Structure 1
Amino acid sequence: MGLLSVLRRMKRAPEQEVRLLLLGLDNAGKTTLLKQLAAEDISHITPTHGFNIKSVQSSGFKLNVWDIGGQRKIRPYWRNYFENTDVLIYVIDSSDRKRLEETSQELSELLEEETLAGVPLLIFANKQDLTTAIPASELAEGLNLHIIRDRMWQIQACSALTAEGLQDGMTWVCRNITIRKR
């Protein structure tokens, strides 16, 4: 196929830009997950004291991912990033049993936000590579995800460290974007 053919095909099928909001408590693995998705080095991750933005290509979409810090002092500012969110991705450290109630409360508050009403929700049950990790099905039950009726949602077991489960989650995201954009 020649260059002209490639250019014509690209012009006919412009990629759609999508805004993903990546939230979760500090140390849940949000930045590691984002760097894995962007195929970047994950050996030197530091806590996010603000936000990171990366564009990732997936299934014909340009995914603009906003990774917002999860420290308690930063969380009140999350609402500044809600506008025009196409998909909310919430990351949970599945091995941190002590903070499950806190992460559940933060997620509940996010789901009550008017600006995020109806926005599809992907929950990454991260750190499944650790022996202390709670299985995604058990987390779903503990978070009462079965009562969510106002949006599409999915919980995906993953490990940001090994990248296992990340592509499955992003496939779900792209499938939901396609459905919503119709």
Structure 2
Amino acid sequence: MFLWDWIQSFLQLFGFNRKAKIMIVGLDNAGKSTLLNMLKTGRLVQFPPTGQARCEEMAVGGLTIQAYDLGGHVVMRRVWLDYFPAVDGIVFIIDSADRERLEESRVELTRILEDPEIPPIPLLILGNKTDKGDAIGKEELIMKFGLHRHLFKEEIYQRTEKDTSPRRECQLFMCSILKKQGYGDAFRWLAKATNK
């Protein structure tokens, strides 16, 4: 029951009886709804593109988390900014196997990373679909997305003392929701980052 264990540890890091809110965003077909269902039920279900925002609540041992899946179509992306002030953390999912849309995904992620109006809440980036043969690796994704200056506390990309520009905590994890790999550690990082 690995999935259940990490969900419990994720929620316990928020504190007893605390309600935490996260927002799951990314382009359509990146795996947002699949991830949300996996977090809630532990089962893999593939969904058609999300047509409207949805919220799921998960409760474990008196702890509650609300996760919002806002969809990834162009029309839905316009409402993302409206939700940011009300959440404790953001999850941005990238389809690392959809090479034709990587630039589109990079533009949306950069908009979130560099918008001064977005509160400095932690941002978890998931490079999903690593199980596919044509998926790009972590280093290539970092290069293509220009993430060197945004990643937080990763040994190779450690910020220097001279770098005083305001930045949110941000980390990249590669994962495969289909294979149930990689997102457990990612959500443990997010739980710690949002509990500071």
TM category (shorter chain) comes to 0.7 to 0.9
Unaligned runs of 5+ in 2: 1-14, 151-165
Residue 178 in structure 1 maps to residue 195 in structure 2: yes
**Residues matched between the structures, number:** 167
Residues 45 and 74 (structure 1), Cα distance of their counterparts in 2 relative to 1, 3 Å cut: same
TM-score normalized by the length of structure 1: 0.83
User: How far off its partner does 1:165 sit?
Assistant: 0.9
Aligned CA RMSD, in angstroms, stands at 2.0
Q: Percent identity?
A: 34
8 Å CA contact retained: 1:90, 1:121: yes
Which residue, 143, 152, 155 being the options, matches 2:172? 155
Range that drifts further, 24-33 or 79-88: 79-88
User: How far off its partner does 1:83 sit?
Assistant: 2.0
8 Å CA contact retained: 1:125, 1:156: yes
Residues 135 and 60 (structure 1), Cα distance of their counterparts in 2 relative to 1, 3 Å cut: farther
Residues 58 and 132 (structure 1), Cα distance of their counterparts in 2 relative to 1, 3 Å cut: farther
User: How far off its partner does 1:111 sit?
Assistant: 2.0
List, as ranges, runs of 4+ consecutive aligned residues in structure 1 with deviation greater than 4 Å.
Answer: 57-61
2:101 corresponding residue in structure 1: 99
Find the aligned partners of 1:166 and 1:158 in 2 and give their Cα distance: 6
Residues 153 and 106 (structure 1), Cα distance of their counterparts in 2 relative to 1, 3 Å cut: same
2:122 corresponding residue in structure 1: 120
2:40 corresponding residue in structure 1: 38
TM-score normalized by the length of structure 2: 0.78
Task: State the structure with more CA Rg.
Answer: 1
